[in-house]
Amino acid sequence: MSMNVGSGSGSGDPEVLMDINTTPLIDVMLVLLVMLIITIPIQLHAVNLDMPVGAPPANNIKPEKVQIDIDEANVVYWQGLPVSAQELEEKMTVLAQMPFQPEVHIRPNKASQYKVFANVLSTSKRKGLTKMAVIGSEQFVQ
């Protein structure tokens, strides 16, 4: 530590010390930082989940599958038989009213128009079908 003994000018007035002593401020900041680090909880990489206990109930109901195909001439087939847009809506209405909805598999051809495929999807959504799948997407990969 140093001490200001006197000025070299010979006057009796002490010089004003313009520098602030930052050592106590740094000590306080370090103590606060250590306290903050100690109080932060340790981050775990685990997620606690409440999983159900016991065996799941057996599912004895096998879902029925309905195949809808769209060929390169934009003809829609229901289980292998060609159908019109009106017949498609009627069949989807019947499916939507069933207690256990079957899975609907749509398989469009690569050369078919997108609007036909979009019409089938929008009709299924309007009718309330929830189990939909698009099959044969590997043909679209180049």
- Summarize pLDDT for 78-115 with one digit per residue, the tens: 999 999 989 999 999 998 898 888 899 999 988 889 89
Question: Please, are residues 101 and 129 in contact by the beta-carbon 8 Å criterion?
Answer: yes
**Which CA distances in Å does 50 have to 47, 69, 112?**
10, 43, 48
Scan for tokens 């690569």, then name that residue: 110
Domain edges within the chain? 65-140
> In the 3-class helix/strand/coil scheme, how is 20-72 assigned residue by residue?
CCCHHHHHHHHHHHHHHHHHCCCCCCCCCCCCCCCCCCCCCCCCCEEEEEECC
Name the stretches of the chain with pLDDT < 70. 1-12, 44, 47, 140, 142
pTM: predicted TM-score of the whole model, two decimal places? 0.55
Q: 77 Cβ partners below 8 Å, 6+ apart?
A: 67, 68, 69, 70, 71, 83
Mean pLDDT of the chain: 84
76: closest CA among 63, 62, 64, 90?
Answer: 90
Sign of CA dihedral 118, 62, 91, 129: negative
- Summarize pLDDT for 105-118 with one digit per residue, the tens: 999 988 889 899 99
